[in-house]
Structure 1
Amino acid sequence: MLKLLFLSTPVGPLGSGMGGGVELTLLNLAQEMGRRGHRVKVVAPENSVVSEVSCQEISGTWQDTIQNNHRDAPIVLPKNSVLGNMWDYAGRVEKDYDLIINFAFDWLPFYLTPFFTTPIAHLISMGSTTDAFDEVMNRVAKQYPNTMGVHTHAQGQTFPFNDICRVLGNGLNLSLYNYCDSPDNCLAWVGRIAPEKALEDAIEASKIVNIPLKIFGKVTDEKYWQTIRQNYPDGSYQYEGFFNTIELQEKLGRCKALLMTPRWIEAFGNVAVEALACGVPVIAYSRGGPAEIVQHEKTGFLVEPDSISGLVDGINRVDTIDRKQCRQQAEKEYSLQALGERFEGWFYELVKQE
C-alpha cells in the first residue's frame, strides 16, 4: 500500500470547473488509487467538492491560469497564494506519505521539489507556455529523472525534456457514461470558454451545416464570451451551462457529434473520451492530444487545424461512423482500470528509486 498526497490545481476549487480536465483527472485517479487499496489524501482550494477520498481544504487567493501568457511572461505569486499555502501544508506533512503527486501547472511546485525529502511526481496538464516555466521544469526533470508525467506524445514534444517524459494517457469511470444510439439533430462543444479553445470555429461550422450547437462548459473568459455573442447574434447555438459528469453525459450522449477546435496543443482531451464513452463521434482539429485519441474515419474525423471547411466536411460525414465503435474504443483504451495500471506502475517506480 502506498500513502499518496495529491496536490490540486490552484486556479479554483475542485468541482468548480475552473481547473478544466485537471479536476476530472485528479478525482478519477484519487478514487482509482483508493480502490486499489492505497491511502490517498487530496489537498485542494477551499470549497472543493471531493467524494470518496479525504480532502484537506486550504484557503487563499486562487492562481491565474497560465495558458494565455506570452512566452516571456514573468513568474507571479499572488498575495496569500492558495498554491503557496497548499505546498506549505505539504511540507509540514510530507513525512507521512510515500509520494506527493503535483497536479498544478505552475512554477512553484517544481521550484520547491529539491527542498522536499519525499519524492514528488509531477503530472503536467498542458503544453509549453512560458520560457521561465520551461526552465524551472527542465532543471527538475534533469535532476529527478522519470518524475515528469504527460498525457500524450504531442504534449511532451512541446518541452525541452521531452525525451524523459513518462506518457501516461488518461482514463474515465466509464460506468458513469451511458451509450446512446439514437442522437438528436444537434452538435456539441465542451470545454472552458476561453480564446485558446476557439469556440467560434464550432459555431461557424454549425451555422454552415444548419445544425444547432449545444455549448457545455465554464465561462472562464467573460470578455471572450461576450465577443462571441456579439459576433454571432443569430447563430444556431445555445449555451447550456456547466454540468457534473452525470448531467453532462446524459446531454452529450444525445448529440450527433462533438466538435473539438483547440488553437493550442491540448495535452489530452478528456471531453473526447467522454464523448466516445457515450457513443458520440469526435470531429477534432488534428492538433495535440485529440489527434492521438480519435481514430480517423472509425470513431470520428481528424481535420486540418483551424479549417472550418474541414469541420463541415466531418459533420456531413458523421453518419458513416458506427457509434458502437466509439464506445468500444473508450472501453478498451480509457477505462479507470487501464488508467490505474499505468499510474500505479509509475508511482511504485518513483518510490523504489528513493
Structure 2
Amino acid sequence: MRIAVTADPFIPVPPVNYGGIERIIHFLLDGLKKNGHDVILVAHKDSNVNVDLIKYTSTSNGLIDQLKNIATINQLKKWRPDIIHSFSRLAYLAPFFMTDVQKIMSYQRKPTIGQIKKALRISRKETLTFTGCSNYITNQIAPFAPAETIYNGVDQNIYDYRNRVEDDAPLMSLGRIEPIKGTHNAVKAALKTNRKLIIAGNIPTEHQNYFDSEIKPYLNDKIVYVGQVNDDEKNKLLGIASALLMPIEWNEPFGIVMAESLACGTPIIGYRKGAVTEIVEHGVNGYLANDFDELCQYIEQSALISRKKAYLSAENKFSSKKIVENYIKLYDAILHR
C-alpha cells in the first residue's frame, strides 16, 4: 500500500518534549515501513523520520497559514497515495474530498460534528472514514459517519518495566499543568495522604496564574515540580512512582501518559471521566474513583495492584505493535470493501 500520513504543522515528528500524538505518528511510520508499505509524511519541517517527508511551509494557525498548509498537502497528488491518513485538521483533506483516494481522519479530541457532516457531503461516496482514539470519541462520531476506535498507544521499547518500587515511592502527576488536568487535585490528595508527589509537565502561558496560585504555594521537599520532561526522564519518573494520578476535571479523550505509565508497570488512579474508564481496569491495573475521598482511599491501596498486570494491560491493548496492526487492518478493510 502507498500510505500518506499527515500531522499537525506545529510540532516535529518525533517531538522532543510535549507532543503525544506526534510520538504515535512516529511509531506508526516505522511500523508501516517495517511491514513493507510505501509511506510519506506531511509534517513540521524539523521532523526526523525514516520515510519521505513533505514539509509544511507554515507552523502558525492563521487563515493564510491554513491555506498554505492545505496547498502543501495538495502536493501528495504527485505521490498518488492509496490512502491518506490524517492526524491533522479535517479541512486539510480538502484537495482530496472529491477524489477516489481513500481518506481516514483520526480524532484525538472532541470532534466537531458539523464539520464531519459537511466533509461527508462534499466527499466522494465511501472514501471518508473516521477513527477515534477511544470509544468516548468514536461514539460521538458513529451516529453520523463510519467510525471505529483505534486506541492510542506507546512504544514499549523506550519504557522499562519495573516490577517493584520503594515502600515510600512517590505519586506522579504528569501532563499539561492546567485546571482540567487536575494537578491541584493531585496536590491535595498527596497532602491528605501524606505522600510524596512529583509533578512534571509544561505550563501553558494562559495557565501560569493557575500554577502560581494553586500549585506553587504547596511545593516543598515532598511535593516537587520538575518541569517538562523528555522520554528518558518520563521513563525514569514513571518507573519509580507508586501510581500515576489522573484526578481530571474533564472528559479525557485518551491520555497517552496512562499508556506510558502502564508500560512501566505503574498503576493509575483517576476519576471516572472520558477514556479513563476504558484504560483503567478497576482493581487490575489501577483504580477508578468517584470522588476525592475515594481517590485518597485508593492511593492508600495502590500497592495492592500487581505491577505485572498493569504492564500486561499496556502490552495487550496499547503497545505500538498492537496499534500498528490495528491501523493496517483498517487500511486493508477500506481498500477491499
TM-score above 0.5, yes or no: yes
Q: Assess, with a 3 A threshold, how the Cα gap between structure 1 residues 17 and 86 changes in structure 2: closer, same or farther.
A: farther
Alignment deviations for residues 39-88 of structure 1 (CA, whole Å, 9 cap, x no partner): 2222112333x34333333231423xxxxxxxxxxxxxx1541x433331
Equivalence map 1:180-191=2 (5 Å):
180-184=162-166, 185-191=169-175
In the other structure, the counterpart of 1:173 is 155
Matched, 1:149 2:128: no
Equivalence map 1:1-354=2 (5 Å):
2-14=1-13, 15-18=15-18, 20-48=19-47, 50-63=48-61, 78-81=62-65, 83-96=66-79, 97-104=81-88, 106-109=89-92, 111-128=94-111, 133-141=112-120, 143-144=125-126, 147-159=129-141, 161=143, 164-184=146-166, 185-219=169-203, 221-232=204-215, 233-235=217-219, 236-304=222-290, 307-353=291-337
For 1:165 and 1:88, locate their aligned partners in 2 and report how far apart those are by CA, in whole Å. Answer: 27
4+ residue segments displaced more than 6 Å: none
Q: In structure 2, the residue corresponding to 1:189 is in which secondary structure?
A: strand
Unaligned runs of 5+ in 2: none
Alignment deviations for residues 113-165 of structure 1 (CA, whole Å, 9 cap, x no partner): 5244422210111124xxxx320113335754761011221122234736731
Q: Assess, with a 3 A threshold, how the Cα gap between structure 1 residues 11 and 308 changes in structure 2: closer, same or farther.
A: farther
Q: Assess, with a 3 A threshold, how the Cα gap between structure 1 residues 243 and 322 changes in structure 2: closer, same or farther.
A: same
* Total equivalences in the alignment: 327
For 1:158 and 1:238, locate their aligned partners in 2 and report how far apart those are by CA, in whole Å. Answer: 38
Q: In structure 2, the residue corresponding to 1:170 is in which secondary structure?
A: coil
Q: In structure 2, the residue corresponding to 1:147 is in which secondary structure?
A: strand
For 1:218 and 1:162, locate their aligned partners in 2 and report how far apart those are by CA, in whole Å. Answer: 36
Contact 1:141-1:147 at 8 Å conserved across structures = no
For 1:310 and 1:54, locate their aligned partners in 2 and report how far apart those are by CA, in whole Å. Answer: 50
For 2:120 and 2:130, locate their aligned partners in 1 and report how far apart those are by CA, in whole Å. Answer: 6
Unaligned runs of 5+ in 1: 64-77
Contact 1:141-1:148 at 8 Å conserved across structures = no
Among all aligned residue pairs of Structure 1 and Structure 2, give the percentage whose two residues are the same amino acid. Answer: 23
For 1:252 and 1:124, locate their aligned partners in 2 and report how far apart those are by CA, in whole Å. Answer: 27
Q: Assess, with a 3 A threshold, how the Cα gap between structure 1 residues 310 and 10 changes in structure 2: closer, same or farther.
A: farther
Alignment deviations for residues 90-131 of structure 1 (CA, whole Å, 9 cap, x no partner): 212224221111102x35235555244422210111124xxx
> Which amino acid letter does the alignment assign opposite residue 32 of structure 1?
G
Contact 1:100-1:119 at 8 Å conserved across structures = yes
For 2:126 and 2:182, locate their aligned partners in 1 and report how far apart those are by CA, in whole Å. Answer: 36
* Segment drifting more, 334-343 vs 318-327: 334-343
